[in-house]
Chains A and B, each alone.
Chain A
């Protein structure tokens, strides 16, 4: 059991707002209230609950046009996070119909309509001998990367200086990774399923520092969240049509995510690495 520092007592609700809510909210449920709760659920990543609440909100005739537009947009975002793209698109269209100049809805629809690179067609399948993991959800993109090797291409750096490799553990229940240069192993890590939420969690070790993270993994994209030197960081990876993976990192500062670096993973065959003397032929 890890030691846990006593949490500094904080006010759950403060001052007048708390008192006002205590009087006002009681047991009401309905469109506007469900909409508010839906936004909170969406914000906290509880997408299933968000969909339920927005659906209930939209059934309420008290919802005015602008709120209905927001509810459709928000439910669409939750559906997109659940990889229900068709339903998400329908919601974004409805939001735009209700509020034609809503830039958020227009952008969300455009994003949803981007052709997702197909793992099965964009990337050749790995060797059958390496396909012993629980493919598909919740591993998503990670499953498609298992057993493969990738050049780690950072801007301004030798594109063939380091390579990444992922593979299933022998029991197929977890995945390990390594990032290696010609002389060094730069990073080692492990990903596994958190049993209750069925989400992927991970740990990597770099320079004797262990960093822990939680992941949102889809079929062609994933986001990894962690902490680095006192700052929340996230890394968004997207599979491209040519099978490469674009990775954009961001750091959370001053209340917003700020992009700060980018790199690309380009698949390389094991034979190529062997031919270059970077891996043994065994």
Chain B
């Protein structure tokens, strides 16, 4: 994957030697991200996204990568914005999902939720340790979700601590 990436980068560099463009910037941004140069990666993805020359899933990748760069810098607010945009385009990008959850988890610590156990584990895109532990609970405000709540109701006697 990595080798193929650099080959295409080379092709792109030859194809547009005279001027930078969206695809070039995006690929350069990806290289900067992987090299740990997050400020440069953000700048390059800014330019790539502003160019209007990348579309569809490629746009998702650009948002996801810029979101990761923000996350690595500790700019959670910007990371959430970008990663949420990536999620809208491609909901099943597991890398972006995990990054979004990481940014959200840093923004809403468990200690800020009354009644939440401090040892709760964070569920992202990875499968739950016990596949049916949540009983399919979407866990939203309203989306308390039928199955999980039903399971909670059914297990009322066995689990008096509720979410704790």
Chain A residues engaging chain B, CB cutoff 8 angstroms: 1-15, 18-19, 21-23, 25-26, 29, 33, 36-37, 40, 43-46, 142, 145, 152, 154-155, 157-158, 161-162, 164, 166, 174, 176-192, 194-197, 199, 201-215, 224-233, 235, 237, 245, 247, 249, 252, 255, 257, 261-263, 265
Contact = CB atoms under 8 A, between A and B. Distances in A.
A17 to B, nearest CB: 9
B89 A44 contact: yes
A231 B126 CA distance: 9
9 contacts: A7-B34, A25-B21, A187-B152, A189-B139, A197-B80, A207-B159, A211-B137, A213-B139, A263-B144
Contacts of A179: 144, 149
A265 B144 CA distance: 10
A176 B1 contact: no
Contacts of B101: 212, 227
A13 B33 CA distance: 16
A192 B103 CA distance: 14
Interface in B140-155: 140-150, 152-153
A212 B100 contact: yes
Nearest to A248: B143
Contacts of B5: 9-11
Contacts of B26: 12-13
Residue of A157, A185, A249 contacting most chain B CB atoms (<10 Å): A249
Contacts of A8: 1, 95
Contacts of B8: 11, 13-15, 18
Contact of A208 (B30, B56, B120, B149): B120
Contacts of B156: 181-184
Contacts of B134: 206-207, 209, 228-229
A44 B62 CA distance: 11
B72 interface: yes
A205 B116 contact: yes
Residue of B64, B72, B103, B143 contacting most chain A CB atoms (<10 Å): B143
Contacts of A228: 123, 134, 136-139
Contacts of B63: 44
B102 A189 contact: no
Interface in B79-106: 80-81, 84-89, 91-92, 94-95, 97-106
A29 B51 CA distance: 10
Interface residues of B, number: 111
A154 B150 contact: yes
A203 B113 contact: yes
B114 A4 contact: no
A225 B144 contact: no
Contacts of B59: 40, 43-44
A235 B77 contact: no
Contacts of A3: 102
Contact of B163 (A155, A188, A197, A215): A188
Contacts of A29: 52
A19 B12 CA distance: 6
A232 B97 contact: yes
Contact of B139 (A14, A164, A187, A263): A187
A15 B84 CA distance: 27
Interchain residue pairs A-B with the least CB separation, the first 8: A235-B143, A185-B162, A12-B26, A2-B102, A232-B91, A212-B104, A196-B77, A211-B139
A4 B26 CA distance: 20
Given A10-B1, A13-B54, A183-B156, A206 B148 contact: yes
Residue of A6, A18, A191, A235 contacting most chain B CB atoms (<10 Å): A18
A231 B11 CA distance: 36
B42 interface: no
